[in-house]
Amino acid sequence: MASTLAEPSQEKARAKGVRAMRYTVKENGGELEEIGRLNDEGKVKPKIARTYGLAEAASAQDYVEQGHTEGKVVLKIAA
């Protein structure tokens, strides 16, 4: 498990049988590509709380501001 917000509880991680760490980056295209590759290969499994269309961005922000989000909130952008 990787958190971009705060150091995760090592005790809770051990109880779930997973490794936990805090991960932050500065803008780096190579690292973002690596994260995408790991995700595509199933080695990183992000927890998605909810997915919204881009037109629903305000609703997504309202949801995040409620403060009970577990996982990522995704804005889906049509190609």
| Chain mean pLDDT for the chain | 88
Q: Indicate if 33 and 61 belong to the same structural domain.
A: no
Q: Indicate if 63 and 38 belong to the same structural domain.
A: no
Q: Indicate if 42 and 4 belong to the same structural domain.
A: yes
Amino acid at 20: A
Higher pLDDT, 4 or 79: 4
- Total residue length of the chain: 79
**Look-up: residue for tokens 């989000």?**
69
Q: What percent of the chain has pLDDT over 70?
A: 97
Q: Tell me the pLDDT tens digit for each residue of 48-71.
A: 999 999 999 999 999 999 988 888
Specify the DSSP element, H or E, that contains 51. strand 48-53
Question: At residue 79, does pLDDT exceed 80?
Answer: no
Dist. CA 60–CA 78, nearest whole Å: 16
Dist. CA 6–CA 79, nearest whole Å: 33
Q: Indicate if 30 and 53 belong to the same structural domain.
A: no
